[in-house]
Structure 1
Amino acid sequence: MEAATALDTWQRPVHAAAQALLGDQGRADVLRGRWLGHAVHPLLTDIPVGAWTSSMMLDAVGGRTSRTASRRLIALGIVAAVPTAVTGLAEWAHTTAGERRVGFVHALGNTAALGLYTASWAARHRGRYGRGVVLGLAGAAAASAAGYLGGHLTSARKVSSRHPAFERPSPR
């Protein structure tokens, strides 16, 4: 994926928008977590992922009485996905070409997950609970695949903001 130059046509305009988002240094510092000492994006991912996973567990074992709670958890995940995506864009803006390609596919997968969860919430809201569950499961699959790519970026590629005070000193 890192060598898939065909993705460049699609990711370049998004990358330009991400760089524009960071045009103001104060905004960049907030979005990239300078105030915290490390990237905010990985922390925020726990909210939508946790809410959506909790919803899936309620669907599996909660029965009819948990339907409202499950729908509300999906809504929480949808709302939390917005700042999570914005902070992800901020991290992605400072990556190499190969990392940008992987990050772009990561974002596409998360966008698909968000769309599926939004459709799940809407179906449940209209009383189409079974359809909502199926859409939620599809959203979970998309989020899992996208999360794998995000994990690759942070673990294997070390894409993440860090405050200089936390950097390791260079060996002498």
Structure 2
Amino acid sequence: MSRRLLHGHWLGHAVHPLLTDVPVGAWTSAALLDLSGRRELRPAARFLVGAGLVAAVPTAVTGLAEWGRTEGAARRVGVLHAASNTAALALYSSSFAARRAGRHRLGVLLGLGGAAAAGAGGFLGGHLVIARKVGSRHPVFDRPADAA
């Protein structure tokens, strides 16, 4: 797969932050359904956990491409970001398996753990983008707004 594609040159900025909305949104929605306590929503929650798992794959691939361009402290923070998100992926995978096996309560608990890990990973990702200025972007965005 082309680095230019993974870095989002075609879009003008990194693709990774855009893709993170899909797994995070699916998993957050699943948690809301779970916390409603309504039995009839369990299949929808399981579907959303699974959808988040599928969406996490291209999200991780583009994140790895961005991480490959980092150095120093940003690279170390990127490792922690990836570790948190890997823990979230493992917890959500276990949650999905438990739900499929009819162990809904265990699936919910594992999913909530996944949400905590994903939240930590998201915090670190935000730090990388905002404080460390990590992320592919088109050079046109480097000009001051009034120069455009």
Deviation at 1:163, TM superposition (A): 1.1
More divergent stretch after superposition (26-35 vs 115-124): 26-35
Deviation at 1:85, TM superposition (A): 0.4
2: distance between equivalents of 1:95 and 1:119?
31
2: distance between equivalents of 1:82 and 1:147?
16
Indicate whether 1:86 and 2:65 are aligned.
no
Deviation at 1:44, TM superposition (A): 0.2
> 5+ unaligned residues in a row in structure 2: which ranges?
none
Q: Counterpart of 1:30?
A: 5
Using structure 2 for the length normalisation, give the TM-score.
Answer: 0.94
What are the residue-to-residue correspondences of 1:60-99 with 2, within 5 Å?
Answer: 60-61=35-36, 63-99=38-74
> 5+ unaligned residues in a row in structure 1: which ranges?
1-25
Q: Counterpart of 1:162?
A: 137
Deviation at 1:62, TM superposition (A): 5.3
2: distance between equivalents of 1:40 and 1:30?
9
| Residue number among 62, 77, 80 corresponding to 1:102 in the alignment | 77
Indicate whether 1:115 and 2:90 are aligned.
yes
**Percent identity between the aligned chains?**
64
Between the two proteins, the alignment pairs up a number of residues equal to: 144
Deviation at 1:101, TM superposition (A): 0.5
**Residue-by-residue CA offset, 1:58-116 (whole Å, 9 max, x unaligned):** 00115000000000000000000010000001111111211110000100110000000
Helix, strand or coil for the counterpart of 2:13?
coil
Q: Which aligned runs of 4 or more in structure 1 are off by greater than 3 angstroms?
A: none
What are the residue-to-residue correspondences of 1:53-64 with 2, within 5 Å?
Answer: 53-61=28-36, 63-64=38-39
**Residue-by-residue CA offset, 1:17-72 (whole Å, 9 max, x unaligned):** xxxxxxxxx70100000000000000000000000000000001150000000000
Q: Counterpart of 2:126?
A: 151
Q: Counterpart of 1:41?
A: 16
The amino acid that maps onto 2:84 is: G
2: distance between equivalents of 1:83 and 1:117?
16
Helix, strand or coil for the counterpart of 2:14?
coil
Q: RMSD value over aligned CA atoms?
A: 1.1
